Structure 1
Amino acid sequence: LKEHISRVHAANYGVYGARKVWLTLNREGIEVARCTVERLMTKLGLSGTTRGKARRTTIADPATARPADLVQRRFGPPAPNRLWVADLTYVSTWAGFAYVAFVTDAY
């Protein structure tokens, strides 16, 4: 059983924790309890990766004025090139955050 656990963990780049290793083993037909997988992974020194904490990048200030809604939420323009919408977001990279801006025709 330890060999199967090590194989599944290594096949998934060491990312899978006990729950996903347990699910994979059961899908492969190796019926085992999750607590057994947890115990054996601890003995083998295997652990999955944890997700990073979500960063709050925008904190709205209710006291500041909002921009005017020039289209009154009507996003169905009658023809192309009549209404353009845009958005700005952050993307996490290995070097830090990068800004990504999207501008598209709403038609």
Structure 2
Amino acid sequence: MGHQSGELSVLHRPLKSVRNSYSDMAVDLTERVQELADARGVPESKILEQALERGVEDLWVDLVLTQYLDGEIDREKAIELVGRDRVKRADREAKAVKDDVRWGLNA
């Protein structure tokens, strides 16, 4: 039960597209880092350091808010970790989703 040569090439096309996408993203990322470094007059390493710090901070906030919304930590702990404004926003967004689901179920 082998593949005909035409079938095999079709199976490989998505992989090439994924590879090209990653390659394109890497080029875009490199160019953006260079452009930011040039605009700010700092080394690219400084831009990468700042990007890593911001990324980790965003991931931390997402983790804390997810734990809060899942009931794993209480509201006061979440406020202590990420601030009252972020917790209030998470509450509003969670309520909006619940309201949308309720509306959808009753439509």
| Greater strand share, structure number | 1
| Greater helix share, structure number | 2
| TM bucket, shorter chain | under 0.3
Higher relative contact order (CA 8 A, sep 6+): 1
Specify the structure having the higher radius of gyration (Cα).
Answer: 1
